Each structure stands twice: as structure tokens, then as C-alpha cells.
Amino acid sequence: MSDLATHEMHMRRALALARQAWGTTHPNPMVGAVIVEDGKIVAEGFHAQDGGPHAERLALLARGKPPRLGAVLYVTLEPCSTHGRTGACTEAIIASGIKHVVVGATDPNPAHAGKGLDVLRAAGIEVTAGVLARECEDLNLIFNHWITRDSPMLAAKLAVTLDGRMACRTGESKWITGEPARADVHRWRRLFPSIAVGAGTVLKDNPRLTSRVPGEPEWSPIRFVFDGLLRTVVDKNLPALYTDEFHERTIVVTTPHGGMGYVRKLRDLGVGVWIVDSPTQRVSFAEFRKRCVAEKIPAVLFEGGPQLVSQITRDRQLDYLFVYRAPLLFADDRAKPMLNGLRTEHVSNAIRLADVRSETHGDDVLTRGRVVYPEKNVYR
């Protein structure tokens, strides 16, 4: 095998290790590391949770003794060179005697980017950087957004037909996509620390908004309900989000127009309430984003209907988009569109996706990427 093929093979193992901490490290990144001697992996480690030991240190600890001459350390993210709750990984690597480090992605933090590599090289260690960089960067798309913008990544998930429809004219939408695509949605739910829907979705579908992955216990992220008038707080048959075993993980986001009686009722149930300042009955996404920063919530996945996603898009607050496209055609101009209410008179006014990834799940295709708005705001 060529050196590049060998590096990629071992980096893929490091990536697989990192993914074992899928959704458990926020606001820290997922990182995996392996130590290779004579072409064989002799030790492994991955960062499991915020505040826990880093992947590189765990791999060195797992080795149990100094690595042999010629050992290579593979790590998916540039080793840290600063002291936080744990010591600098560059110091541990230098002290171990390892003379070659292969790195996937560079640290996205502008204050640290490249410094760990410089420290290792200054200590006489050979550094090979950028191996499977695109995969390693994509692994931490939430962390990368949070650390570079000091703001949560607001993402949306849509399931649509080939002609861009989310539901029939009757409102029926179960199920546009197949079981493999729906299973993938649950995988992404496990990554995101919070999920959001609008009042309409709660009243129509009564969702649980939990992650249900085969072989793993059901898990609940923070569950946001956008309800500017608190119309989901009915006297009878409260939604499952307000009464199930995860109800204390639910937060209703509303406005001062919602009524304090309903606010008290929710809080008495153990449901959280965020009252976001707004001159209208609609929640301000910009103000919601600020509250997420204050509460250190690094990402929100919006799974609401077209109205909620259209609103966040018109406000230019959507950062990332997942679109699952099924091989169906409704061919009906009264079927519910994926997005609406925008005014796109020229191709140059179109919203585009950057850093695009495409994946196939059964018969359905997922296209995802970072949302890029036109320079001129034509959506007001």
C-alpha cells in the first residue's frame, strides 16, 4: 500500500472511534486517535464527553508503555496546544517519544488553528496534515460552527418529493421517505443537542421528538416547541411533549402575547418556558439564537413543517439544511411546497448550499449543506 492509502486506512479507524461519541461531547468536538507500530494498530482512544480525557492521551495510556521507535499517532483533529481542564495534548505526545503524527482536520478555532502542528514540528516531530480532512471536518460540523461563530448552528430537516412537495393537498405526509431515510433522521437526532418544531406540528402529529436507534436506549434531546400564542396548551389531551417521561426536556418558546396563565400551567407541569421579546405574535429567531448562546446550546435541528422552516429562512437565520428527497411525484399545484413565501425573481437571488454532501438511504437521497444567502436580502 502507498503511504497515502495507509494513512487513510488508519485515519478511517480513528474516525470510527470518534463516532462512538456521536452526540455526547457537546460543546467539545468528537476526536479519535490510534497508535500504529510496524503497520499494526496497538492502541486506541476517543474523546467520550465534555471535560473528559482527550483521544490522544487515552491512546497513549492504552499503549501502557512508551511507543516503539517508528510508531505513528493518527488523530482526527489537530492536537490541542493549550491548557484547559486537561493538559495540552502536544506536551503528552512530545513526552511519549512519538516522532510522526498524522492529522485529519486543522483546529477550526482561529485562535488555535495550526499552533498544535507548529509545536510538534518545533519539537522535531514529523507532521502529516490533511489526511481525510473533508471527512474529519464534517464529523464536527456543529462544533466547527459554534467555535468559529460563537453562535448555535440552526439547521432544518425536510422530507420532500422530486417536485419539492412535503405533503398532499389533504395534508397527508406519512410517509414520503422510506424506512432507511427515517432511520438516518434518528441518527442525526442523536447528534443534535436540541430539536425544534412549531405549534402546528405538535397539534397535528403529537410527536415525541426522541432519537430511537436500534440497539440503543431511546434518548431525548432538548425539545423546543415554537408557540407564540401557547395554543398547544389545551385544557384536555396535552401533547406528549408536555406529559411523557422526557417532559422536563421540553422547552416552549413563546412571546409576551401567550398569556401568563398558560406559562404557569406549563411550568407547574415541569415544562420549561422561554418568553422571547417580540413585537408580534411570532417568535424572533434572532432573539432565540441569543438565548441559545446564553444557555450554551450549540445547535438546534428544526423538524417543523414548511411554515416554520420558511419563516427561519426568510429571516436569514437558517445555517444548515438536510433535504431527504424521495422518488415520488405529486404533480399537484395544491400539494404543500417545501418552502414558501420567498420572492426569487432571478437565479442570482437563489439560496444555495455550500460544502454539499449527498448520501443514498434506500431509494431516497439526502442532500445536506451549509446555507448561503444572496448578498441582497430579497426575502423581507
Catalogue the active-site residues.
56
- Quickly tell me which residue has 505513528 as its cell: 72
Classified as helix, coil or strand, 11 is helix
SS3 content of the chain, % helix, strand, coil (to 5): 30, 25, 45
In terms of Cα–Cα distance, which of 354, 294, 321 is closest to 151? 294
The C-alpha atoms of residue 323 and residue 312 are separated, in whole angstroms, by: 16
The C-alpha atoms of residue 199 and residue 376 are separated, in whole angstroms, by: 31
Q: How many other CB atoms sit within 10 Å of the CB of residue 162?
A: 13
**Residue 264 Cα distances to 18, 27, 233, 274, angstroms:** 42, 31, 11, 12
- Quickly tell me which residue has 503524527 as its cell: 101
Q: Is 278 exposed, middle or buried (0-12, 13-18, 19+ CB in 10 A)?
A: middle
**Dihedrals phi, psi of 89, to nearest 5 degrees:** -70, -30
225 forms beta bridges with: 197, 252
Classified as helix, coil or strand, 12 is helix
The C-alpha atoms of residue 121 and residue 81 are separated, in whole angstroms, by: 12
